[in-house]
Amino acid sequence: MHARREWSEERLAWRSVIQLNLVRMVNQIVDAVSNEISAQAAQTYPDSPTSDDESEGATPALLNVTNSKRKLKFSEKHRVLRLRLGPLRTVESDLQRKLGTEATELYSTDVDTAAPFEDDHPPIRTKKSKEFAVNSSNGWKTALGRFRSLVHQVDSPEQRTSRDADDDATNIIASLREDIVSLWEDPVVKELLHRRKTRIEDSPGFFLNDIDRIARLRYGPTDHDIIRARLRTVGVQEYRMTFEHGPTAGQEWWFFDVGGTRSSRTAWYPFFDDADAIVFLAPISCFDEKLAEDRRVNRLEDSYLLWRSVCSCKLLTRTQLIVFLNKCDLLQAKLTRGVRIKDHVPSYGDRRNDVITATRYFQQHFKEISKTCSPVPRPFFVHHTSVIDTKSTAITLGAVEESILRDHLRRADLM
């Protein structure tokens, strides 16, 4: 919105991320089909769900066991598709290497550590995440810099190697476009995914409805594609942008994107010291979901606990806190499908099961926490957002920019 030149330079780099999202999900579907075919061959249908370790780091819809004992009618077509899509395993590995050395991320398994940046937090029990991630300091940024240099410089041998790897992935994905479409649109595969009781369409990094457009030799990411893409990073990411227009045109802004998992929150505290504002992203669509790192903890409740700790932090007394009640579009989709909030949030009671009532309820809860836990009285700023809706998000961020600017003027006694 405010730094279009920098954004346009980065756009090409996201092609590999989007391709990885697509390929990874196709491979997970193939795994689900393979597991089901093997189970049918052995005539075994386990009745208990997979363990946390088995399910972590992958799309839940593809890992929960099938409860129904009615056999799905797989055919020779499905076996051929499994073989034809086999090269995507290598493509996934190549894209991961291209994006940077895989980083090791440890998940906290302690229920009581929503805010481990607090001084008196207990020791954290951890386990390793199985989802691919890159280090924010030398993985993804290094790959991004390599792409930028391709735009402005003559290819060096190293750059040609990188470009060749990129072309190989693009060529293979494009050559398998029809097979990927056939797999995704197959009614037996659809039924298999339905039995897993989780909509794969709601998963981050979902591009299976865009195969015909993305699996092309000349594919270039759109802004909407990039907003929807997923790349897990380990560590704090720093961005410096000089706004090209708006009330703060010409000024450099520093942004720090901190990791959201419980174990990553230990690194937050040093960034609190000189923060002008904190944008607290609270996905309210996850009222029926559990933390990936600890399946005993509800994600919405974890957001409440974390918000309580942020509001209580004395170091943030003069810092502007802004809440984004995020993923309102996914909340709408869930409620439309008939998911009832009160089944997962007992305190919701018999309120209307619609988006307006739900967002008002969640907003009030965050507001009460701010009021009761802040060391000093502070205004409560909240916005309802869907980050993939770039137009409305741009308007929201413009309001946030103006709010931060007004706060600066008040501190300088200019207002």
Bind-site residues for GTP:
202-203, 326-329
Counted residue by residue, the chain has a size of 415
Amino acid of residue 243? F
Q: Which helix (H) or strand (E) holds 322?
A: strand 320-326
Q: Which helix (H) or strand (E) holds 326?
A: strand 320-326
Residues 6+ apart with CB under 8 A from 383: 322, 323, 324, 325, 396, 399, 400
- Distance, in Å, from the CA atom of 122 to the CA atom of 110, rounded to the nearest integer, reads 9
Residues at the binding site are 202-203, 233, 326-329
Read off the tokens for 301: 């409740």
Residues 6+ apart with CB under 8 A from 161: none
- Distance, in Å, from the CA atom of 43 to the CA atom of 52, rounded to the nearest integer, reads 25
Residues at the binding site for Mg(2+) are 233
- Distance, in Å, from the CA atom of 413 to the CA atom of 265, rounded to the nearest integer, reads 34
Rounded to 5°, the CA angle 98-101-103 comes to: 135
Amino acid of residue 413? D
Residue-by-residue DSSP string for 395-407: HHHHHHHHHHHHH
Half-sphere exposure of residue 176: CA atoms within 13 angstroms, side-chain side: 25
- Distance, in Å, from the CA atom of 140 to the CA atom of 118, rounded to the nearest integer, reads 29
CA distances to 255, 374, 376, 397 from 316, rounded to whole Å, are 16, 9, 10, 21
Residue-by-residue DSSP string for 356-381: HHHHHHHHHHHHHHHHHH-SS----E
Residues 6+ apart with CB under 8 A from 152: none
Q: Which helix (H) or strand (E) holds 254?
A: strand 252-257
Positive/negative CA dihedral, 140, 143, 145, 150: negative
